[in-house]
Structure 1
């Protein structure tokens, strides 16, 4: 976990803004005792003294946008919950982090689970709910155990259960471990799974805010979104808006991984650039240079070094042709074969497809067959047009965003690295294999393309 001093003006080493990660490195940071030493539950006391609609207005005015990928305004999502409908209202926290390259929610839950629990209580008050669920990816057993212990501590101390802090608010919180399906990161598939059915996306409308869990009004938020709420309540919307950009204010966690000197979680303002993050993390590994990278994990169209200075906020990344998504910055150097990387990503999406819709179920299968042939040197030149055609028949036409995520690396890699695909065809194999490639000299050092 990588952290830095408070936010500054221009100095690269002072650009980070540790809020969620401020105390991750302390001994037993996950305990309630440690959390209370750092103003823990002070925000909940303040929020529970406010009318629910005022809490919603505060979060809405802060400009907090969902940190789970879509960037939808959190306060607006809360506002969609109908009032006076006589139905139970539910809060569901999406902790099914499984995007290749994403690693921000699990460290947060492992190091500071009480931040999320306090945010859940505030959110339940705002949307008038007395029942909340955390849907956690089941494979991360250490996080599951720590989260269970944090919930037990909160119940024991009176921060969960009946009459929280003497305000009359009741909140029952359940931690549910999923069975390990990537598709359950999609909010409606998550709700189906939580109800005991096979995790598959639902047809919308109706949206979860109207008919979600058990056909009742439901808010589904990402871990980081809810965990950011206590700091906003405690420090104010102006403080939150003092960081980031006008349309994407605040702080966020960036997961930096790949061929970099110091991978880790970097918490900084929205709008920081990859160049700045690389400057602070020691850059690419010695003797190598950046070839391509993803701003939002493998489901986001890839970027190249020409995009190093694109501000990492939702609108700027979108304008540059990609998606900020989960802010999973995977960096690959010149030794990486683009075709091989894209093949592995698409194999993942084909394996994780729920099979409900034809474009995704059939399209990802055929993408994998073509990519495997290309990687092995069995491809033909017209296969590149087939790849593009199949990807276009998936993108925007599948039942949920998994199909779009599978098509994105294919389309973007063909746009930026078509010549490399052609080398696999003309060279009858991967040009990054020293045994087959003219791109390697006898001494094993790279020559020619990419050198």
Structure 2
């Protein structure tokens, strides 16, 4: 099996990203022309058959989400593209925006048609400000060519796209916090229900998708067979992954599901710097779980990774070599969550603070058995009672490390 493919990335380097004409010369907007002549439910069925799970980390089936969004009654529906990409070690969506902006615009228009929406919003992280002109230009040219605005392609379909930039808050990757940010409010999550598919942006029915999830759709409409022939089992197709850390060639790669972790790290990412040993690998960004080198021969699929104790998540893979101890890695991760917690709910606000204190004590050799028990309890309470996904998953790395590296937390044994 090839360790790298070009399905989602096949347009990279093939056209002038500042020119809609150049994009159309390679087949751009043909998927949209095809979509508006189809029954929207047939498009949802196609996505379901392709078994596409949300590429932002939640893994919610894309076909089901669009079908549900379409079924919601209400006027002036909205589709949102979550281009916040605040998860550490994750930079795949940046590459899609930079190398294929018109495909993303086309995908949003198709999403609007299927869901019955009148407006689309791209919420892009503040750190990607250098790519704003690229997307604004793509939106402007799509409007000039009649792909945005009123009566698109003569089908009585009206749709417009708006671009918003966040202020760099990690928590705004969460749907309701992102929506509040667009509304001009503090980017803090809210309680659900109501779910955003019923009452989202400005209380309008809203369908929110990740950049990669959306970007797949035009390619699938044009060539479903190639996608379906990739992957294995329940994990059909390809996946964009970001590999970073102590590897020789960090970067973004498109792989067929089923590629082993070893092939990803040693073939695509060039192996470990100076041939050092692997200390740990974290999957799915800061909120992902960690494991050791025993996972190397595990196929990269949803089910295989889950069985190995980790998850696909955002598609990020962070490789840490033997120079960094498990505790120091966890302290670094905890500093991130302590900084990025919005502070709204008690479990997350207080839990992150106290776990940081205990990890610092561990690093200094000052922790005792009660500290370990307290830290474990706090982590479990956070995962069960926090308001949003940040607090629920902030201690994934800690809890998984306690299972995979028990000797580190055995105060009578050796530290790693």
TM-score w.r.t. length of structure 1 = 0.87
1:358-373 matched pairs, under 5 angstroms: 358-373=346-361
Q: How does 1:242-257 map to 2 (within 5 A)?
A: 242-257=229-244
Deviation larger for 273-282 or 414-423: 414-423
Which one has more relative contact order, counting CA pairs under 8 Å at least 6 apart? 2
SS at match of 1:280: helix
Cα 1:52–1:208, aligned 2, differ >3 Å: closer, same or farther?
same
**What is the match of residue 260 of structure 1?**
247
Task: For residue 380 of structure 1, report the CA deviation from its aligned partner.
Answer: 3.1
Tell me if structure 1 keeps the 8 A contact 2:16–2:23: no
- CA shift in 2, pair 1:163/1:402, >3 Å: same
* Alignment deviations for residues 149-203 of structure 1 (CA, whole Å, 9 cap, x no partner): 2212222222222222333322110001111111110111111222222122222
Q: Does 1:326 align with 2:317?
A: no
What CA distance in whole angstroms lies between the structure 2 residues aligned with 1:294 and 1:72? 21
Deviations 1:3-33 (A, max 9, x none): xxxxxxx3xxx33121222232457445423
Query: Helix, strand or coil for the counterpart of 1:68?
Result: coil
**Counterpart selection for 1:49 from 12, 16, 37:** 37
Which of 130, 134, 139 is the matching residue for 1:146? 134
Q: Distance in 2 between matches of 1:179 and 1:279?
A: 36
Q: Which has the larger radius of gyration?
A: 1
Matched, 1:126 2:145: no
| CA separation of 1:31 and 1:277: change in aligned 2, threshold 3 A | farther
Contact 2:241 2:317 in 1 (8 A): yes
Q: How many residues align?
A: 415
Report if aligned partners of 2:261, 2:297 keep a CA contact under 8 Å in 1.
Answer: yes
Distance 1:368 1:383, change over 3 A: same
Q: Partners in 2 of 1:296 and 1:31 — Cα distance? A: 34
- Residues 1:89 and 1:276: Cα distance change in structure 2 (over 3 Å): same
Gaps of 5+ in 2: none
- Inter-partner Cα distance in structure 2 for 1:34 and 1:265: 24
Q: What displacement does 1:324 show?
A: 1.2
The DSSP-based 3-state class of the residue aligned with 1:331 is strand
Matches within 5 A, 1:347-386: 347-386=335-374
Quote the residue 2:376 is aligned against.
388
Partner Cα separation in structure 2 for residue 55 and residue 161 of structure 1: 22
Q: Is the 8 A contact 1:273 1:310 kept in 2?
A: yes
Q: Distance in 2 between matches of 1:287 and 1:86?
A: 58
SS at match of 1:277: helix
> What residue is the counterpart of 2:101 in the other structure?
113
Q: Does 1:40 align with 2:16?
A: no
- Cα distance in structure 1, aligned partners of 2:193 and 2:228: 33
**Aligned-pair Cα RMSD in Å:** 2.0
The 5-angstrom pairing of residues 156-167 of structure 1 reads: 156-167=144-155
Asked whether the equivalents of residues 302 and 412 of structure 1 are also in contact (C-alpha less than 8 Å), the reply is yes
Cα distance between partner residues in 1 of 2:206 and 2:257: 28
Aligned partners of 1:184 and 1:200 also within 8 Å? yes
Mapped partners of 1:324, 1:194: distance in 2: 28
The alignment's TM-score, normalised by the length of structure 2, stands at 0.94
User: Residues 6-17 of structure 1 correspond to what in structure 2 (within 5 A)?
Assistant: 10=1, 14-17=2-5
For the 8 Å contact 2:51–2:61, the answer to whether it is kept is: yes
Match 2:227 to one of 229, 240, 246? 240
Q: Residue in 1 aligned with 2:196?
A: 208
Looking at structure 1, the residues matched to 23 and 245 of structure 2 have their Cα atoms a distance apart, in angstroms, of 32
- 8 Å contact 2:171–2:341 — kept in the other structure? yes
Contact 1:301 1:412 in 2 (8 A): yes
Work out the CA distance in 2 between the residues paired with 1:244 and 1:203.
37
2:93 corresponds to 1:87: no
Q: Secondary structure at the match of 2:56?
A: coil
Unpaired runs of 5+ in structure 1? 1-9, 432-448
Secondary structure in 1 matching 2:130: helix
Please tell me whether residue 337 in structure 1 is matched to residue 339 in structure 2. no
2:410 matches 1:410: no
Deviation at 1:264, TM superposition (A): 0.5
